Each structure stands twice: as structure tokens, then as C-alpha cells.
């Protein structure tokens, strides 16, 4: 270590404490806060050698008391050069369909010397629990332990890995609780083998592949059966699998081929996950799906314009064992144009379609789902900039529409929404004075609630004005905002007024005072629903 190397403390402490007191009043509704809230809050972080952080936080006051610390689940993953060690509570990912971020209590190591990629973890994936007299509502579960091994070759963005996961429940980990299918309490075991890769072919071509086969036994006490010897998983890992009546072999695959260059990119993706595919190395999987997706992007006008788009189709009922199958189509298109730093606009379109087809049973027209959801947004911005003043103008328009293609149910489900926002922002660069004004308008057409009734429209519109200013060499900062919103629905006009003011004073480098005031006045147009609230708060903070 050189003479100029920085010195590090063995233990570093950082954080802050805040004391606060305030008031609260309400008319027309039940109080939603204490009349005179007060308390003390703080957060402290201990940083140990090696970058290990231990955060602590607590709140003490008449609104409640709480304390948080990290020792319920503590773990570390120190690394040195090409080696990483895991200990304690960790969540490690080897591939999407094997070990994919499930938290375990144990240990492991990942080694990447040169182009070799090795990973091994072992631990407890689930803690045994059972109901007690004190807490009878606890759902019983077995202790689950497992391990995962990864062996691969390549670099972080160009590799091929083989991964295996083996996990099982301990049938003796719960005393006095008998396994029961009715209570969904049966010991399970799982073996998953898979491959994951990211390969850069030639120069601009990228191939991605994630695939896995999972043997999942939902009841280890079920009757054993003779597995077919021709199955590759049985031949390679037969001694690690005990086939039973409750065992199921499923597969999951996702693959993509892409091309990327200066002009843009093109990518084709495919995914298929068998019904009931599971791995004990992940918390949740959307199974029983097959999808195809094409995505592309174009860079135009020397990088000043960009167009991206994608289209995909997704299906379920892969085993043809559902009463109905569902198909989804998802399309999106976005264009962004920025001819110069002061002007630009974005346009985005998305379309989501949903339809059903007959499965085991014919579909009844009155129950068949066939919908289309369209969303379109335009966002523009224009700036006038100079050394003294800045003026920024924004305009955003959004349209959303749900169309029901089933004429029998369309009148009860179709709706659309339009939203307009016009904004102006002013900044005085030298003094820091700022002003903003926003005008908003929203209109929603709701479906009918009774036969013969026309669609009801709900409207919200109004301005929001805000300002901020810093003075005394920016030791004092102030801000204020006022919003007045009018809403019309079912022939009734309502009003909502909100106002807030904030001020802060920097006493020293690490000490500050702050003041906050808020007022809310709500008048829906119905006398019994009128109310107003007023609250304030003053606080002192110190950091270290």
C-alpha cells in the first residue's frame, strides 16, 4: 500500500436524529391524527470493514413506537478478485428457471478464475413452522433444505452455464402435525437441471437461451412408481429422483435471437413454460404460457430521433385441460424526436388484446371475454433558456379506451379516459426564485349501470400554482403550493382545495429547522360529505 493510500476507520457511524411536534384539527370527519403529534425518530448505520452495513431505525412518539434492525436476516457476500463467498441469509441467482433469487440461510461460493464459472450454495430454503396455542392461525410448513451447483465457461456477457438444484422437505421437522393433503401439508422434493447462456455470435448477433427440466414431487409419502428409462433426466439423474404418483416432470424454455448495430436493433423472442412448472429455487412462476415476441428499434436523424416497437402473442391451455383457452396480443410503439436541446416530443401507443376460445367446454357468448385496451400519449416540451432566466413549457395528452368486442357485455364494460396537462415553469437562475403553473383536465366515460342509461361522464379540472425561493445565501428555503380542483359527476359539482407551505433553516452544516403547514378543504357537492383539515409541524434535525 502506497504512502498516499487513504486511511479507513475500522467502524464508521452515520445517520441522523429528528425531533418534531405539531398540531392537527378536522371538521366534518373523524380525526385522522393526534391533536398534538410529537415524537423522536432516528436512523443510524454502522459500516464495518469490507463494506458491510448495519442499518438501525426507530420512532418514539404519541403516534406509535417502532424499531427496526437488520439482524432478523443477516448475511454477507464478501469478494476478492475472482472469488465471492456467501454466508447467512442470501438470495443468489444462477438461472431464471433453477435458482432464481430465493432467500436461503446457509453458505456458498462463486469462483470465476479466467473463463471458468463455478458456483455452489447450500442452505435452508424454508423454516419449519406449526400452529401453537398462542398463534393458532399459523399455516404449518416443513423445514426445506437444498443445494445448487453451477458450472460454466465464458465471461459475464458471453457464457454457457449448466445448473442443477436439489431441494427437499424434512418430514420430521414438525412435531405433532400429521401431513394432510386436505391442509395442503405434504412434504415435497424437487430436482431441476437447466442451461443458461448469452452468446455473442460474430459481432452484432446475440443468442440467449434459458431452459430447464423440473421433477417436482408434491407428496414424498405417495406410492413409488417405475419411471420410463428413455427419459434423459431419468438416465442422467436417476439415482437422485424417486418417482411417485405425485411426481410431475415439466419443462421451461425461453430463447431469443437479436441483432444490434448503430442504426438500431431487432430481436425475436420465444417462451414456453409447461403447466405447473415449479422450482424450489424461485418464489413464483407464471406457468402454462407460450409466447412469441418481435421487438425492434431505429435510430434516425443522427441520434436525434428514435423509434421503438414490439408485438407479441401469448397463449395458455397448453395441455388442453381447461374449460377455455385465453389468447393475448400486446403491441407497443414509441417515437422520440429531439431536434435541438430546447424542443422535443414523444409519442407512445400501446394496444393490449384479450380473447378466449373453447377448451373442454363450448363458450357461451354472454360470458366470452373479448376485449381491447388502447392507450396513446403525446408529450411535448419547449424551453427558452438564457443565463438569467429559464422558461419551460410542457403539454401532455393521454387517451385510454377499453373496447369490448362482445356486443352482449359491451354496454356494461366499455369506458374511456382523456387527460390533458399544460405546464409552465419559470426559474430565475441567479436568485433561485421559481414559479410553476399547471392546468389539468380529466374526463372519464363510465359504463352504464342500468339498461337504457347513457354512459356517465366524470370530469376533473383545475389549476395548481407553486413557488419556491431561497435567501440568506440559501440558508433559508421556502416553498408554497395551492391546488383547486373541480369535479362534476352525476349532475353534482364538487370542489377540492389543497394548500401547503414549507420552510427550512440550515442552522449549521449538520443541523436544520423545518416548518410545514397543510390545509385541505373537500366539498363533493353533498352536504354530509363536506370536511376540512389543517395540520402543521415543526422539526429539528441533526446528522452525523
| pLDDT computed for residue 230 by the predictor | 57
Judge whether residue 5 has pLDDT over 70.
no
* pLDDT at 282 exceeding the cut of 60: yes
What is the phi/psi pair of residue 170, to 5°?
-90, 110
Q: What pLDDT score does 406 carry? A: 79
Q: What is the spatial distance between Cα 316 and Cα 289, in angstroms, rounded to a whole number? A: 5
Residue 146: pLDDT over 80: yes
Task: Give 442 or 65, the one with higher predicted confidence.
Answer: 442
Helices (H) and strands (E) in the chain, counts: 2, 28
Rg (CA), the chain: 30
Please report the pLDDT score of residue 505 as a whole number.
Answer: 95
Q: How far apart are CA 435 and CA 220, in angstroms?
A: 68
CA distances from 485 to 104, 293, 497, 520, 533 (A): 50, 42, 6, 12, 16
Domain ranges of the chain: 41-70, 73-282
Does residue 3 surpass a pLDDT of 50? Answer: no
Q: Would you say residue 37 has pLDDT above 50?
A: yes
306: which 3 cell numbers? 428514435
Instruction: Enumerate residues 6+ apart whose C-beta is below 8 A from 376.
Output: 347, 348, 349, 350, 398, 399, 400
CA distance 200 to 206: 5
CA angle, corner 359, sides to 358 and 362, nearest 5?
50
Note the pLDDT of residue 45.
87
The per-residue pLDDT of the chain, averaged, comes to 88
In angstroms, the CA 243 to CA 218 distance is 11
Which whole number is the average pLDDT over 497-522? 95
Higher-scoring residue by pLDDT: 169, 452: 169
* Cβ(60)–Cβ(41) below 8 Å: yes
Q: What is the DSSP string of 217-247?
A: ES-TTSPB-PPPTT-HHHHHHGGG---BTTE
The confidence score (pLDDT) of residue 158 equals 92
Cα–Cα distance, 141 to 116 (Å, whole number): 38
The yes-or-no verdict on residue 362 having pLDDT over 70 is yes
Q: Is 70 exceeded by the pLDDT of residue 185?
A: yes
Q: Look up the pTM and report it.
A: 0.80
Tens-place pLDDT, residues 377-386: 999 999 998 8
pLDDT above 90 for 480? yes
Residue-level pLDDT at 532: 95
Mean pLDDT of 448-452: 54
User: pLDDT category, 135, cuts 50, 70, 90?
Assistant: low
Residue 75, pLDDT score: 80
Q: What SS3 state is found at 485?
A: strand
Query: What is the pLDDT at residue 1?
Result: 38
For residue 240, what pLDDT is reported? Answer: 79
Q: Which three cell numbers stand for residue 437?
A: 403553473
Among candidate residues 34, 30, 283, 47, the one with its CA nearest the CA of residue 144: 283
537: helix, coil or strand?
strand
Q: Which residue has cell 385522522? A: 32
Residues 46, 13 contacting (CB under 8 angstroms): yes
CA distance 42 to 492: 47
Q: Is 126 exposed, middle or buried (0-12, 13-18, 19+ CB in 10 A)?
A: buried
- Residue in 82, 83, 108, 78 with CA at minimum distance from that of residue 93: 108
Cα-based torsion angle of the residue sequence 176, 181, 186, 190 in order, rounded to the nearest 10 degrees: 180
- Ranges 263-272, 345-354, 494-503, 520-529: which has the least confidence: 520-529
pLDDT attached to residue 68: 73
Q: How far is CA 379 from CA 9, 263, 304, 335, in A?
A: 50, 24, 16, 11
- Is the pLDDT confidence value at 131 over 80? no
Digit-coded pLDDT (tens) for 206-258: 999 999 999 999 999 899 887 665 566 666 676 778 888 999 999 999 999 99
How high is the pLDDT of residue 10? 74
- What's the pLDDT score for residue 332? 96
Which is higher by pLDDT, 141 or 540? 540
Q: Which pLDDT score is estimated for 50?
A: 62
- Here the cell at position 213 is 427440466
Across 189-217, average pLDDT: 93
For 51-78, what is the mean pLDDT? 78
**pLDDT (0 to 100) of residue 176:** 64
DSSP string, 125-174: EE--B---SS-TTPPPB-EEEEEEEEEEEEETTEEEEEEEEEEEEETTSS
Average pLDDT over residues 5-16: 69
Amino acid at each position: 500500500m502506497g504512502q498516499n493510500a487513504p486511511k479507513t476507520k475500522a467502524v464508521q457511524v452515520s445517520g441522523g436524529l429528528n425531533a418534531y411536534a405539531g398540531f392537527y384539527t378536522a371538521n366534518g370527519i373523524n380525526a385522522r391524527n393526534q391533536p398534538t403529534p410529537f415524537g423522536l425518530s432516528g436512523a443510524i448505520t454502522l459500516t464495518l470493514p469490507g463494506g458491510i452495513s448495519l442499518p438501525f431505525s426507530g420512532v418514539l412518539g404519541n403516534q406509535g413506537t417502532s424499531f427496526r434492525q437488520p439482524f432478523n436476516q443477516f448475511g454477507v457476500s464478501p469478494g476478492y478478485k475472482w472469488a465471492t463467498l456467501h454466508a447467512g441469509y442470501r438470495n443468489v441467482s444462477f438461472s431464471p428457471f433453477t435458482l432464481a433469487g430465493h432467500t436461503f440461510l446457509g453458505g456458498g461460493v462463486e469462483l470465476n478464475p479466467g473463463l471458468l464459472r463455478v458456483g455452489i450454495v447450500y442452505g435452508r430454503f424454508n423454516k419449519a413452522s406449526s400452529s401453537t396455542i398462542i398463534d393458532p392461525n399459523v399455516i404449518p410448513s416443513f423445514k426445506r433444505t437444498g443445494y445448487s451447483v453451477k458450472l460454466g465457461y465464458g465471461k459475464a456477457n458471453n457464457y454457457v452455464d449448466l445448473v442443477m438444484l436439489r431441494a427437499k422437505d424434512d418430514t420430521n421437522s414438525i412435531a405433532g402435525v400429521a401431513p394432510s393433503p386436505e391442509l395442503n401439508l405434504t412434504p415435497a422434493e424437487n430436482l431441476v437441471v437447466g442451461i443458461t447462456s448469452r452468446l455473442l455470435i460474430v459481432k452484432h448477433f446475440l443468442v440467449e437461451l434459458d431452459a430447464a427440466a423440473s421433477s417436482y414431487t408434491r407428496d414424498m409419502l405417495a406410492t413409488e412408481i417405475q419411471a420410463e428409462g428413455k427419459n434423459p433426466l431419468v438416465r442422467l439423474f436417476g439415482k437422485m429422483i424417486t418417482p411417485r404418483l405425485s411426481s410431475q416432470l415439466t419443462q421451461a424454455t425461453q430463447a431469443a435471437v437479436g441483432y444490434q448495430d448503430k442504426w438500431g436493433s431487432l430481436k425475436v423472442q420465444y417462451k414456453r413454460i409447461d403447466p405447473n412448472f415449479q422450482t424450489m429455487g424461485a418464489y413464483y412462476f407464471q406457468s402454462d404460457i407460450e409466447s412469441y415476441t418481435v421487438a425492434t428499434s431505429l435510430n434516425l436523424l443522427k441520434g436525434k430521433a428514435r423509434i421503438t416497437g414490439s408485438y407479441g402473442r401469448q397463449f395458455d391451455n397448453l395441455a388442453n385441460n381447461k374449460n377455455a383457452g385465453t389468447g393475448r396480443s400486446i403491441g407497443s410503439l414509441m417515437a422520440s424526436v429531439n431536434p435541438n436541446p430546447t424542443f422535443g416530443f414523444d409519442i407512445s401507443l400501446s394496444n393490449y388484446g384479450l380473447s378466449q376460445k373453447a377448451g373442454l367446454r363450448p363458450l357461451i357468448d354472454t360470458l366470452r371475454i373479448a376485449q381491447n385496451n388502447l392507450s396513446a400519449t403525446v408529450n411535448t416540451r419547449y424551453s427558452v433558456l438564457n443565463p438569467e432566466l429559464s422558461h419551460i413549457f410542457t403539454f401532455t395528452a393521454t387517451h385510454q379506451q377499453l373496447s369490448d368486442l362482445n356486443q352482449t357485455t359491451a354496454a356494461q364494460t366499455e369506458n374511456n379516459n382523456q387527460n390533458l396537462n399544460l405546464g409552465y415553469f419559470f426559474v430565475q437562475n441567479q436568485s433561485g426564485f421559481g414559479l410553476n403553473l399547471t392546468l389539468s383536465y380529466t374526463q372519464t366515460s363510465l359504463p352504464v349501470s342500468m339498461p337504457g342509461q347513457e354512459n356517465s361522464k366524470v370530469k376533473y379540472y383545475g389549476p395548481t400554482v407553486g413557488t419556491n425561493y431561497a435567501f440568506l445565501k440559501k440558508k433559508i428555503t421556502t416553498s408554497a403550493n395551492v391546488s383547486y380542483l373541480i369535479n362534476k359527476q352525476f349532475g353534482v359539482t364538487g370542489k377540492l382545495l389543497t394548500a401547503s407551505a414549507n420552510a427550512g433553516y440550515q442552522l449549521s452544516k449538520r443541523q436544520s429547522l423545518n416548518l410545514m403547514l397543510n390545509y385541505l378543504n373537500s366539498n363533493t357537492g353533498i352536504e354530509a360529505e363536506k370536511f376540512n383539515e389543517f395540520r402543521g409541524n415543526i422539526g429539528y434535525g441533526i446528522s452525523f
